[in-house]
Amino acid sequence: MSDSEVKVKRIVIDVLKPREISLVDLSKALCEVSGTDDVAIVVKEVDANTETISITIEGKNIDFEDITDTIEEYSCAIRSIDEIEVYKAKKE
């Protein structure tokens, strides 16, 4: 059995969101997720009803399942995971 575990420290997600959803509210909600320290959102494309955004999340142990749940709670859809960084940490 290994004495280390793999943790997510950075992830970049391509997301489609309704235009009426506030970027500020979404970013604050994502920053509240366990293990998350920083959230940055960049609008990549805008059309009549939606925006394509790139969300960069950094932290010591990002809970991807909670990130996914939060994104879905804001009526957004994950299109792809564009980047991810993980690391090995000693089990506590």
Which has the closest alpha carbon to 6: 91, 69, 67, 68?
A: 91
Range 77-83 average pLDDT: 98
> Does the pLDDT at position 1 exceed 60?
no
What are the tokens at 48?
A: 């009549």
Asked if 17 contacts 73 with a C-beta cutoff of 8 angstroms, the reply is no
How do residues 10-36 score in pLDDT, each as one tens digit? 999 999 999 999 999 999 999 999 999
What domains can be seen in the chain, in order of their start residue?
Answer: 4-90 (3.30.70.1340)
How do residues 36-78 score in pLDDT, each as one tens digit? 999 999 999 999 999 999 999 999 999 999 999 999 999 999 9
**Would you state the pLDDT for residue 6?**
92
Side by side, which strands form the sheet with 36-46?
36-46, 50-59, 4-18, 77-90
Residue 75 CB contacts under 8 Å (≥ 6 apart), including other chains: 17, 18, 21
